[in-house]
Amino acid sequence: WPNWLPLSFRHADGDWFDLGDVEVLEFRQALDVRCGTLRRTVRFRDGRGRESALEVRRIVSMADCHQAAIEWTLTAENWSGPIEIRTALDGTVRNEGVARYRALNGWHLEPLATGCIGEDGIELSVRTNQSRLTMAQAARTRVFPAEAERERRTVEAPGWIAQIIACECRKQQPLRVEKSVAVYTSRDRAISEPVIESRSTIARDSSFAELLERHSIAWAHLWDRCDIGLGGNDNAQFVLRLHVFHLLQTTSMSTIDLDVGVPSRGLHGEAYRGHIFWDEMFIFPLLNLRIPEVTRALLMYRYRRLPEARWAARAEGYRGAMYPWQSGSNGREESQVLHLNPRSGRWVPDNTYRQRHVNATIAYNVWQYYEATGDAEFLSFYGAEMIVEIARFWASIAHHNPQRDRYEIHGVVGPDEFHTKYPGTEELGLKNNAYTNIMASWVLHCAGAALDRLGRDRRRELFEELALSDEETASWEEIGRKLFVPFHGEGIISQFEGFGDLEEFDWDGYRRKHGDIQRLDRILEAEGDTVNRYQASKQADVLMLFFLFSSAELAEVFERMGYPWTPETIPKNVQYYLHRTSHGSTLSRVVHSWVLARSDRERSWGFFERALASDVADIQGGTTAEGIHLGAMAGTVDLVQRGYTGLETRDDVLWFNPCLPEPLREVHLRIRYRGHWVDVEVTQERLRVRFDETWPRTARVGFRHEIHTVAAGETLEIALSPEC
Ligand code: BGC
């Protein structure tokens, strides 16, 4: 989209301000996450000895979603004289933020028009060259004190417009500039047309101070809902708040009215081109328990793309709905088919699109939202239909193997993107990815539970609309029970059939040779080898199961499927995969921290700290500038919210099973459960849960295996033992 930020100045005898051309005396940049404000202070001296101070504040309004503003205060410290200020709207931008995409076409905007609005306004409209979306921006720039302004002229070029304001600066008399901008697109609701709306918003415009006031109130309300209080660890507290901030920058109240999904890199950069993957599985739990309205809106984004998913299933010869691994505007498959390995400079085939497990994510997310909110209307009109159509897809992609008398799923890729086929074969995909099969089994069972929750009439309607029969739903239960899960060794769940037969990888040798081996796939490809040959995973795959389900839930799933489950299943598998994962995805450490939370608190904390560093320390060495990692950001907050507190919303009970890592002395949360606030306080010694006064009935709170009944306004307090 066009850049609304350009604002600069020059002395009558000089060039436009450039930080590189002056001697910087002081520089401070601060992101105030409490009220969503970016502040910058620069003091500098130019080649002629003129010293100046520039203070900048910038907001993108959380209250008025069409408005953004910059305030600039320039103080001439030891000089007086004429300057020119240039304020512009720039529609000539190109998408060049990701180095490895630069060879691709980065030009997406066609200029439509530029013009002036009254004395102090400019406007620009552009259209995207493929989707034909129109965006209009209008900017109004005012100088204070007004007497400082001498004259204003407008300069235009295709897709670019600026005003040059000649001003008189006086020594030690701050000159303040306010640039406020209105932004509309042709997708916005309750508008006539983007240009008209941006013009009238600017004409009715308020001052920077007024905008800031409303913006700060909106942020304060968001923090009331979303903050998380940690005792005893300032660094974790600081980074978690930054993570909440970035999540809310990407998706919060203004999302509710839009047809948007949640891009895995936020709206912060161009990596993955804004595509929607499965990362919402790491993001929704936080929203479910804070602003569930946002989850609902994001699930509706999926619901609107159900027809496209049905079509995709049909095109591949399946029934039901098959959501694509990566998608965008209209929900069609958008995964790349070639991938540039920057190490070797080669474009290699990319078959990660075979990650059908994204479908289980969507069904799981619908159910989680329903469990947290009890939103029966959503389940009834939208959610159940998605779960049912996804169950249908799983039932049709699974085929019966008479030798085993089990159902199998072939040709897929699991969450670990390193393995996309068997070494030495041409056939794409893998057989029986355990995560996929177990999730499919869970969905097939869940579809029955979802249908049971519908009223008789709605159930009948849905049966008619989807041409469902009792025989079909009964067959889902049967297929779900008989899905095959591969094992090898002593109770190790094989990531996929044959994983245990792959070669062991020389982890120590490669670490010694390369240092950072997170992207082992690229290192091996550059050496003419392939990661498909080794027991080496990019990220948690089998372990995802222990992340998504409690041990009690998994015991049920395994029992239903007729596989053994013992208390050792989790630790044994965690140990096995822990040593075979490179963490090439930032999501991986969140999962590892989670699954170790009870068995090895120290190690869990180590993974947590590393996951916290994902973007603040750019641990992948350059990917943060391409866009933040929203799944890891939200995931770290959720690790504290649910992982360390053992919070679960299951079977109409709010469960807890706290186990804080040693460096965390206490956690304070305010969660939204079934439309009401619940205060939760966990320390190393006790758990306190309090339902607010508006809670209409008694609540069921589970601690380990016991269920307690708590009334509105009451506090449940439970003493905790130090060993969890
Ligand atoms: C991960 C995927 C993730 C995607 C987007 C990839 O590196 O392997 O699991 O969905 O990034 O974040």
pLDDT in tens, 547-564: 999 999 999 999 999 999
Distance CA 328, CA 310 (A): 16
Is residue 353 in contact with ligand 1, taking CB distance under 6 Å? Answer: no
State the distance from the centre of ligand 1 to the C-alpha of 88, rounded, in angstroms.
37
- What is the secondary structure of 97-112 as a DSSP string? -SGGGTTS----EEEE
592 and 578 Cβ atoms separated by less than 8 Å: yes
What's the per-residue H, E or C state across 620-668?
CCCCHHHCCCHHHHHHHHHHHHHHCCCCEEECCEEEECCCCCCCCCEEE
Is residue 422's pLDDT more than 90?
A: yes
415 and 539 Cβ atoms separated by less than 8 Å: yes
Residue in 264, 273, 518 to alter for ligand 1 test, most ligand atoms within 8 A of Cβ: 264
Question: What pLDDT band is residue 100 in, cutting at 50, 70 and 90?
Answer: confident
Is residue 585 in contact with ligand 1, taking CB distance under 6 Å? Answer: yes
What tokens does 459 get? 């159930």
What tokens does 138 get? 């209008």
117 and 202 Cβ atoms separated by less than 8 Å: yes
Residue in 275, 279, 350 to alter for ligand 1 test, most ligand atoms within 8 A of Cβ: 279
Is residue 326 in contact with ligand 1, taking CB distance under 6 Å? Answer: no
pLDDT at 418: 98
Mapping DSSP to helix (H, G, I), strand (E, B) and coil, where does residue 613 land? Answer: helix
532 and 420 Cβ atoms separated by less than 8 Å: yes
559 φ/ψ angles, rounded to the nearest 5 degrees: -65, -45
Average pLDDT of the chain to the nearest whole number: 96
80 and 87 Cβ atoms separated by less than 8 Å: no
Atom from ligand 1 closest to the CA of residue 265: 12
pLDDT at 13: 83
pLDDT in tens, 560-614: 999 999 989 999 999 999 999 999 999 999 999 999 999 999 999 999 999 999 9
Distance CA 407, CA 397 (A): 10
Mean pLDDT of 638-655: 94
Strand partners, 81: 169
pLDDT at 398: 98
State the distance from the centre of ligand 1 to the C-alpha of 330, rounded, in angstroms.
21
Largest CA distance in the chain: 90
Residue in 276, 277, 583 to alter for ligand 1 test, most ligand atoms within 8 A of Cβ: 277
Any idea which residue has 């974790």 for tokens? Answer: 236
Distance CA 631, CA 272 (A): 14
Distance CA 278, CA 324 (A): 10
Per annotation, catalytic residue among 84, 417, 648, 681: 417
State the distance from the centre of ligand 1 to the C-alpha of 590, rounded, in angstroms.
13
pLDDT in tens, 193-214: 999 999 999 999 789 999 999 9
Work out whether strand 338-341 and strand 346-349 pair parallel, antiparallel, or are unpaired.
antiparallel
Is residue 512's pLDDT more than 80?
A: yes
Is residue 724's pLDDT more than 80?
A: no
Question: What pLDDT band is residue 695 in, cutting at 50, 70 and 90?
Answer: confident
State the distance from the centre of ligand 1 to the C-alpha of 635, rounded, in angstroms.
13
Distance CA 13, CA 308 (A): 60
Strand partners, 163: 87, 154
Is residue 420 in contact with ligand 1, taking CB distance under 6 Å? Answer: no
Is residue 264 in contact with ligand 1, taking CB distance under 6 Å? Answer: yes
417 an active-site residue? yes
pTM for the model: 0.96
**Residues 460, 465, 471, 472, Cα dihedral to 10°:** -130
Q: Closest residue (by CA) to atom 1 of ligand 1? A: 585
Question: How large is the C-alpha radius of gyration of the chain?
Answer: 28
Is residue 279 in contact with ligand 1, taking CB distance under 6 Å? Answer: yes
Q: Closest residue (by CA) to atom 9 of ligand 1? A: 415
Question: Residue 477 is which amino acid?
Answer: E
Is residue 576 in contact with ligand 1, taking CB distance under 6 Å? Answer: no
Distance CA 15, CA 342 (A): 38
pLDDT at 12: 87
Best CA proximity match to 178, nearest among 136, 135, 214, 211:
211
Q: How far is CA 32 from the centre of its chain?
A: 21
pLDDT at 103: 87
Mean pLDDT of 516-536: 97
Question: Residue 14 is which amino acid?
Answer: G
What tokens does 122 get? 């400019």
Atom from ligand 1 closest to the CA of residue 278: 10
Is residue 414 in contact with ligand 1, taking CB distance under 6 Å? Answer: no
pLDDT at 233: 82
State the distance from the centre of ligand 1 to the C-alpha of 257, rounded, in angstroms.
27
Number of CB atoms found within 10 A of residue 45's CB = 15
pLDDT at 1: 93
Q: Where does residue 691 fall: left (phi above 0), alpha (psi -120 to 50 degrees), or beta otherwise?
A: beta
Q: Closest residue (by CA) to atom 7 of ligand 1? A: 585
Distance CA 706, CA 704 (A): 6
Is residue 631 in contact with ligand 1, taking CB distance under 6 Å? Answer: yes
State the distance from the centre of ligand 1 to the C-alpha of 420, rounded, in angstroms.
14
Best CA proximity match to 701, nearest among 679, 684, 721:
679
| CA dihedral sign of residues 289, 295, 296, 297 | positive
Is residue 672's pLDDT more than 80?
A: yes
Mean pLDDT of 661-683: 94
**% the chain with pLDDT above 90:** 95
Distance CA 169, CA 270 (A): 40
Is residue 189's pLDDT more than 80?
A: yes
Is residue 643 in contact with ligand 1, taking CB distance under 6 Å? Answer: no
Distance CA 201, CA 187 (A): 17
Mapping DSSP to helix (H, G, I), strand (E, B) and coil, where does residue 162 land? Answer: strand
Q: Closest residue (by CA) to atom 6 of ligand 1? A: 585
Work out whether strand 134-144 and strand 175-185 pair parallel, antiparallel, or are unpaired.
antiparallel
Distance CA 220, CA 248 (A): 12
Q: Closest residue (by CA) to atom 8 of ligand 1? A: 585
79 and 50 Cβ atoms separated by less than 8 Å: yes
Distance CA 68, CA 267 (A): 16
Distance CA 109, CA 87 (A): 21
pLDDT at 88: 98
Best CA proximity match to 614, nearest among 643, 639, 636, 592:
636
Best CA proximity match to 116, nearest among 195, 7, 60, 204:
195
151 and 145 Cβ atoms separated by less than 8 Å: no
State the distance from the centre of ligand 1 to the C-alpha of 585, rounded, in angstroms.
6
Mean pLDDT of 534-548: 98
pLDDT at 205: 72
Higher pLDDT, 99 or 408: 408
Is residue 634 in contact with ligand 1, taking CB distance under 6 Å? Answer: no
Is residue 435 in contact with ligand 1, taking CB distance under 6 Å? Answer: no
Is residue 217's pLDDT more than 90?
A: yes
Distance CA 540, CA 278 (A): 14
pLDDT in tens, 285-339: 999 999 999 999 999 999 999 999 999 999 999 999 999 999 999 999 999 999 9
372 and 673 Cβ atoms separated by less than 8 Å: yes
Question: What pLDDT band is residue 653 in, cutting at 50, 70 and 90?
Answer: very high
Distance CA 353, CA 324 (A): 7
pLDDT at 722: 79
Best CA proximity match to 346, nearest among 524, 506, 517:
524
